């Protein structure tokens, strides 16, 4: 038996709000225990140092510096703090655009913040890994990314059209998919259209799953099972593919 036939033990959770769980430290310890490579996103720069401290020294958990588009109205002035902290991490998120708001001025401010963040990532010495939110704003997110990506860009919980998906792929982005996407028809259609070497798994916990037991890094076994059945492959093959994708993404 060669090494490649051994079942893989590691999983990937490319987008988890670790700091919004009741016991973040325990979640981080569990991610390591279960060997789940986890990107611990944050929604505002002021919470990043706390998440970073919890994840420090943990080889599986990467704290990401974020400024969520839905917080731009209240925390947009923290962009300066974001820029100051950027050199301390390779991982960025959650950032992006959210057009649930119909406020034109607010959308404009979101774009200004997002574009500034991308510019700083592009100018950074290290190649950043950026997890991006694009609800109802896929076209503008893709346009903001431009032809040359400022690092590895992962569109999380993508809900755009198939055409927008094509544009995103042409730009070279990856996707992280969760159990909510894999259980709905429109999400499944999108995941089927994604090349397998561009797909990662995510929990987006605690926003996905029941409130009492939200999806978390340790739920990724189930997400891999759903993905494998969608792909029509063995679980181990899906797991191996996602793991290889993640290692390429953070290389």
- Residues that bind Zn ion in the complex, under the rule CB under 5 A: 94, 204
Q: Between 94 and 164, whose beta carbon lies closer to Zn ion?
A: 94
Q: How far apart are CA 113 and CA 72, in angstroms?
A: 8
Smallest gap from Cβ 220 to Zn ion, in A, equals 15
Q: Between 155 and 228, whose beta carbon lies closer to Zn ion?
A: 155
Smallest gap from Cβ 94 to Zn ion, in A, equals 5
Q: Between 211 and 251, whose beta carbon lies closer to Zn ion?
A: 211
- What's the Cα-to-Cα distance from 155 to each of 4, 109, 172, rounded to whole Å? 29, 20, 11
Residue 136, judged by CB atoms within 10 A of its CB (0-12, 13-18, 19+), counts as middle
Smallest gap from Cβ 185 to Zn ion, in A, equals 22
Q: Between 152 and 176, whose beta carbon lies closer to Zn ion?
A: 176
Smallest gap from Cβ 68 to Zn ion, in A, equals 7
Q: Between 135 and 196, whose beta carbon lies closer to Zn ion?
A: 135
Smallest gap from Cβ 41 to Zn ion, in A, equals 6
């Amino acid at each position: 038996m060669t090494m490649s036939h051994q079942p893989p033990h590691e999983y990937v959770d490319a987008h988890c709000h670790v700091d919004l769980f009741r016991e973040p430290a325990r979640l981080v310890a569990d991610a390591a225990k279960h060997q789940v490579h986890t990107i611990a996103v944050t929604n505002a720069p002021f919470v990043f140092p706390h998440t970073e401290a919890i994840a420090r020294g943990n080889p599986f958990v990467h704290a990401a510096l974020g400024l969520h588009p839905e917080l731009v109205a209240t925390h947009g002035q923290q962009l300066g703090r974001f820029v100051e902290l950027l050199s301390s991490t390779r991982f960025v998120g959650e950032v992006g655009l959210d057009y649930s708001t119909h406020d034109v001025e607010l959308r404009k401010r979101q774009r200004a913040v997002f574009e500034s963040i991308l510019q700083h990532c592009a100018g950074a010495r290290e190649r950043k890994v950026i997890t991006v939110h694009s609800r109802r704003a896929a076209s503008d997110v893709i346009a903001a990314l431009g032809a040359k990506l400022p690092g590895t860009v992962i569109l999380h919980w993508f809900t755009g059209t198939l055409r927008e998906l094509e544009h995103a792929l042409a730009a070279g982005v990856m996707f992280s998919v969760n159990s909510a996407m894999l259980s709905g028809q429109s999400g499944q259609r999108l995941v089927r259209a994604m090349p397998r070497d561009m797909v990662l798994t995510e929990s987006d916990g605690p926003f996905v799953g029941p409130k009492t037991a939200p999806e978390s890094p340790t739920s990724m076994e189930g997400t891999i099972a759903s993905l494998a059945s969608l792909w029509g492959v063995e679980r181990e093959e899906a797991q191996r593919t996602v793991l290889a994708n993640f290692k390429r993404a953070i290389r």
